[in-house]
């Protein structure tokens, strides 16, 4: 079954400059926990304990976060502050972490292809940590892993967005095969509202079958000169089947300042306990 979760985390995070000049966007905290930690928690909850992270220059803080900090831990040992490390210690002891560096930031498709040596020939999940997903029962990845068991093909998570926001997303055209499950017929990357085939936008959770690597290898750079995952997924949908799943739960676009503030307020009010 699915054991691995890939986190493409090599992007520059330009929408958050200057904060992201020397700090990875994925380390930005929502209240007191970095974005990537929420993502790893979601993966572990779905049973994926092999965490594979695509990093880049200036991203060493990511690897340090999922490691012991002897000096600090010695300093606070036995104090009330030690409990603040419970969650991260649990992740560190429950998961394995491997890293690979993307040397040129040539897009999400390229970042996923960069992760191939860590994934190999098996289906895997992808989490874009700047999309924070929260649900009170099953997490979004758990919901998708269950669906994968049934359908055994690539699955993308989708959300309905207002027409004036389609230009921020890959947008699908699908045929409904069951409640909240669509078979993808077509997909467009960041369409203007008048060109969007629907208002159903792909967000940062995927289950991918490993044939996606060969498809990405043969995908020409698309919009913005980047190798787009959307283009590869469209090919995969044409060759076989890709499903789109309207998930249960909330999703915050923490790659944008507005979404980040919204997520911070939500988590402070609903999840944070000092
Ligand atoms: P984004 O489109 O959010 O780009 O990438 P970005 O560089 O992180 O942020 P902005 O737009 O400049 O503010 C979506 C995801 O894909 C990863 C990013 O780290 C993010 O998780 N990514 C993107 C890579 O790992 N490598 C790339 O070459 C591009």
Beta carbons of 192 and 166 less than 8 angstroms apart: yes
Please return the burial class of 126, using the count of CB atoms within 10 Å of its CB with bins 0-12, 13-18 and 19+.
buried
Q: ∠157-160-162 over CA atoms, to 5°?
A: 140
Q: What is the pLDDT of residue 41?
A: 98
Beta carbons of 138 and 160 less than 8 angstroms apart: no
Beta carbons of 131 and 252 less than 8 angstroms apart: yes
Cα dihedral: 159, 163, 167, 169 (round 10): 10
Beta carbons of 114 and 216 less than 8 angstroms apart: no
For a mutational test of ligand 1's pocket, the pick from 108, 156, 205, 229, i.e. the residue with the most ligand atoms closer than 8 A to its C-beta, is 108
Beta carbons of 210 and 121 less than 8 angstroms apart: yes
Q: Count the residues in the chain.
A: 274
Q: Is 106 in the pocket of ligand 1 (CB under 6 A)?
A: yes
Give the number of C-alpha atoms closer than 13 A to the C-alpha of residue 273, restricted to the C-beta side: 2
Reply yes or no on domain 4-270 having CATH 3.40.190.10: no
Q: How much distance in Å is there from the Cα of 67 to the middle of ligand 1?
A: 24
Q: Is 12 in the pocket of ligand 1 (CB under 6 A)?
A: yes
Q: How much distance in Å is there from the Cα of 260 to the middle of ligand 1?
A: 15
Q: How much distance in Å is there from the Cα of 273 to the middle of ligand 1?
A: 31
Task: Say whether 229 sits in a helix, a strand or coil.
Answer: helix
Q: What is the pLDDT of residue 274?
A: 75
Beta carbons of 246 and 160 less than 8 angstroms apart: yes
Beta carbons of 272 and 31 less than 8 angstroms apart: yes
Closest-CA residue, ligand 1 atom 1, reads 11
- 96-101 and 131-134 as β-strands: parallel, antiparallel, unpaired? unpaired
Closest-CA residue, ligand 1 atom 4, reads 11
Ordered per-residue pLDDT tens for the chain, 274 residues: 899 999 999 999 999 999 999 999 999 999 999 999 999 999 999 999 999 999 998 889 999 999 999 999 899 999 999 999 999 999 999 999 999 999 999 999 999 999 999 999 999 999 999 999 999 899 999 999 999 999 999 999 999 999 999 999 999 999 999 999 999 999 998 999 999 999 999 999 999 999 999 999 999 998 778 999 999 999 999 999 999 999 999 999 999 999 999 999 999 999 887 7
Q: Is 102 in the pocket of ligand 1 (CB under 6 A)?
A: yes
pTM of the model: 0.96
Question: For 86-126, what is the HEC assignment?
Answer: HHHHHHHHHCEEEEEECCCCCCHHHHHHHCHHHHCCCCEEE
Q: What is the pLDDT of residue 61?
A: 95
């Amino acid at each position: 079954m699915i054991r691995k979760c890939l986190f493409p985390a090599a992007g520059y995070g330009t929408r958050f400059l200057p904060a992201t000049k020397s700090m990875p966007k994925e380390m930005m905290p929502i209240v007191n926990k970095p974005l990537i930690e929420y993502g790893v928690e979601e993966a572990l909850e779905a049973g994926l304990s092999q965490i594979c992270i695509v990093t880049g220059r200036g991203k060493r803080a990511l690897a340090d976060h999922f490691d012991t900090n002897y000096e600090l831990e010695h300093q606070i040992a036995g104090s009330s502050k030690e409990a603040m490390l419970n969650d991260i210690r649990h992740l560190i002891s429950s998961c394995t972490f491997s890293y690979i560096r993307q040397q040129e930031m040539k897009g999400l498709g390229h970042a996923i292809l960069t992760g191939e040596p860590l994934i190999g020939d098996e289906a895997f999940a992808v989490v874009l940590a700047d999309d924070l997903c929260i649900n009170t029962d099953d997490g979004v990845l758990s919901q998708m892993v269950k669906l994968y068991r049934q359908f055994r093909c690539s699955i993308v998570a989708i959300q309905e967005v207002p027409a004036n926001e389609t230009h921020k997303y890959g947008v699908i055209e699908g045929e409904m095969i069951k409640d909240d499950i669509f078979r993808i017929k077509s997909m467009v990357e960041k369409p203007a509202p008048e060109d969007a085939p629907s208002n159903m936008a792909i967000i940062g959770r995927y289950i991918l079958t490993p044939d996606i690597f060969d498809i990405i290898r043969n995908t020409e750079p698309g919009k913005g000169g980047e190798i787009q995952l959307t283009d590869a997924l469209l090919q995969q949908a044409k060759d076989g089947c890709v499903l789109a799943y309207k998930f249960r739960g909330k999703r915050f676009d923490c790659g944008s300042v507005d979404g980040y503030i919204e997520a911070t307020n939500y988590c402070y009010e609903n999840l944070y306990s000092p």
